[in-house]
Amino acid sequence: MSKIDHLGIAVRSIDEALKFYRDQLGLDVHSRETVETEKVHAAMLPIGESRIELLEASDPDSVIAKFIEKRGEGLHHIAMTVPDLPAAIEKLKASGARILNEPRTGAGGHLYSFIHPSSTGGVLLELIQA
């Protein structure tokens, strides 16, 4: 593990959330994109070596839409970088962790996988190849 890459926060509206994170807190928006495979709009705001990732559903079927429906806005996942994601996933699987998806390409062109909260103490964990 090299660092906490970002904290993913589920919001109803990125534009609304930016009134706090950008306008009041003073963070810069580094990038905005839509990740079709996850049905989300994402905005990345660097904060030191890490980032805040604001996530807004781009479709009512999105996991973010379902998360907000059930639990309201809030912390959705924590993301850590690893040097070799496929190797990390194989190791986790071998030790019985519940992997939600095989490594695939997501925001920023990085390989990522999610680990189920039942394996991590209740937090959805995203591993990203650095």
Binding site for Zn ion (CB under 5 A): 8, 53, 79, 126
Strands 74-82 and 4-10: antiparallel
Question: If you search the block for the tokens 């003073």, which residue do you land on?
Answer: 26
Question: If you search the block for the tokens 């390989």, which residue do you land on?
Answer: 111
Nearer to Zn ion (CB atom), residue 56 or residue 126: 126
Nearer to Zn ion (CB atom), residue 68 or residue 79: 79
Nearer to Zn ion (CB atom), residue 18 or residue 51: 51
Q: Shortest approach of Zn ion to residue 38 CB, angstroms? A: 9
Q: Shortest approach of Zn ion to residue 37 CB, angstroms? A: 13
Distances (CA, A) of 49 to 8, 54, 94, 110, 112: 15, 17, 31, 17, 19
DSSP letters, 85-118, are HHHHHHHHHHTT--BSS--EE-GGG-EEEEE-GG
Nearer to Zn ion (CB atom), residue 53 or residue 73: 53
Q: Shortest approach of Zn ion to residue 128 CB, angstroms? A: 8
Q: Shortest approach of Zn ion to residue 104 CB, angstroms? A: 13
